[in-house]
Chain A
Amino acid sequence: MPGSETLLDAARPLTDEGAERWQRAARGLDKLELRFERLYHSPWLRAVQTASALHGLVDGETHVTELLACAPSPKLLSTLKGQRVAVVGHEPWLSELTAWLVTGNPEHARGFTFKKGSVAVLEGTLKPGQMALSSLLPPKVLRQAAKG
């Protein structure tokens, strides 16, 4: 059962400014022609709001999962289906997931820190240590891409 602090954090929304900035970043992803078969996101409110802005880039289903509101696990990897998948979650777990998929060790997360609103693009087989980080896009770059 999550503690009261976790429950409060789960219900914390994006700020108005944060939401507007992310909308612009999502337009940047659209301009970069990033498209997904499926989108998975955590049930926390700000992840729901963040994922909602990406809906136009998703050809198939969106899928909520608690496995993106905790440390990455084999169960998370077996849940993610498809060739082009978007994942919306939280720090530090997204850094841990990236580190795990790229290096095989989630403890290398310090080398993959995400700013709020950043997007990492990984390619390869969805197994620990078998993916490559093809780009890490900070939010400012995405907002700039939206203007182009």
Chain B
Amino acid sequence: MTEGWPAARASASPKSKVQSERASSEVAADECVARLVRHGQAVSANGEPEDVHQLRVCAARLRVWLRLAGITTLHDDLGWLRTAAASVRDLDVQLEAAPPRALTQRLARQRSTALAELQRCLTLERYSALISALRALPPVSIARATNQLHALAARSLSLGQQRTWRAMAEGPTSAQSESVHALHRLRRSVRRVRYALNWLGLDARDITDLQEALGDVCNGVLHLSQAASPAATNKAFRLRQQQELLAKASSALLCWKHTKPILEKLVHAPVHHTPRTRRARQRDAARRGATTH
């Protein structure tokens, strides 16, 4: 289940028209920070897969918000949290594929260990410092955030070049292959674009479809690598995983062809001049004017 995502919005009860206009031209992180805290509490209490997943999603969304705000710190702290949650999440994804019994038991044991480590991270001072820092961050202007969106879309286009898909077509069956790493990078980049669109209250449906199609392929490779392990001796299970992976790769390629023009449109959208860039331009113009006298 994915939580619905609120668009960029005005504050709950603006006192004046000016305040209302200012609030609707800004993107605030506070609701997402509150969700992160809630899911962190739930993970500490019971470690359910959905809470682990949502904790990770909140951390990823906040990393994108930081990019939109032009803040370069706190990324590593959120990354640290995400890495701890990813260890659990990867195992949950594999367990969801209902592998053979011997493999399930092994994965379940690994999950317990990974969950204990995640829960330990949530008790550390670094986590509480991260929450304090996130809570203190002011909203970012829509203009600044939109400029950053262009850069994120450009990155996705550059990662989704033909060579990525050509390598995929050759049939990646190993989680270690370069083509799979390239696909992971593309998926992460597309996810950032999606989250940026969410933050800005823009339509993200096509980008979401692409992200999910890419995610299906990446998950499929992960399942296949487990299916090849000694614990998974069921040949029929391995064959089924291979066939599913090929179907998912074709679907992802079709999705990419549909979404690429949307990304190109995002890259070439008009740049917004923020107050800071406007001041810099005025200073430069004044300097040029002074030198010509």
Q: Which residues of A contact B (CB under 8 A)?
A: 10-11, 13, 39, 41-45, 48-49, 51-52, 55, 61-67, 79
Contacts and interface: CB of A to CB of B under 8 A. Distances in A.
A43 B130 contact: yes
Interface string B105-144: 0000000000000000000011011101101111000000
Nearest to B131: A43
Contacts of B72: 52, 55, 62
B47 to A, nearest CB: 24
Contacts of A79: 125
B76 A43 contact: no
Contacts of B77: 62-64
Contact of B76 (A11, A42, A48, A63): A63
Given A10-B132, A52-B71, A66 B76 contact: no
Interface of B: 70-77, 125-126, 128-130, 132-133, 135-138
6 contacts: A41-B73, A42-B129, A43-B132, A52-B73, A55-B72, A63-B77
Contact of A11 (B70, B75, B126, B136): B136
- Majority SS at the chain A contact face: mixed
Nearest to A67: B125
Contact of A66 (B70, B74, B129, B137): B129
The main secondary structure of chain B at its interface with chain A is helix
Nearest first, the 3 A-B pairs at minimum CB distance are: A43-B133, A55-B72, A43-B132
A44 B135 CA distance: 10
A93 B92 CA distance: 44
Output the residue of B74, B128, B132, B135 with the most chain A CB within 10 A.
B132
A49 B71 CA distance: 7
B73 A39 contact: yes
Given A52-B71, A63-B76, A64-B77, 9 more contacts: A39-B73, A43-B130, A55-B72, A61-B76, A64-B73, A64-B74, A64-B130, A65-B126, A66-B132
Contacts of B137: 45, 48
A66 B128 contact: yes
B181 to A, nearest CB: 22
Contacts of B136: 10-11, 43-45, 48
B125 A66 contact: yes
Contacts of A49: 71
B125 A65 contact: yes
Contacts of A39: 73
B75 A62 contact: yes
A62 B80 CA distance: 11
Contacts of B128: 66
Contacts of B76: 61-63
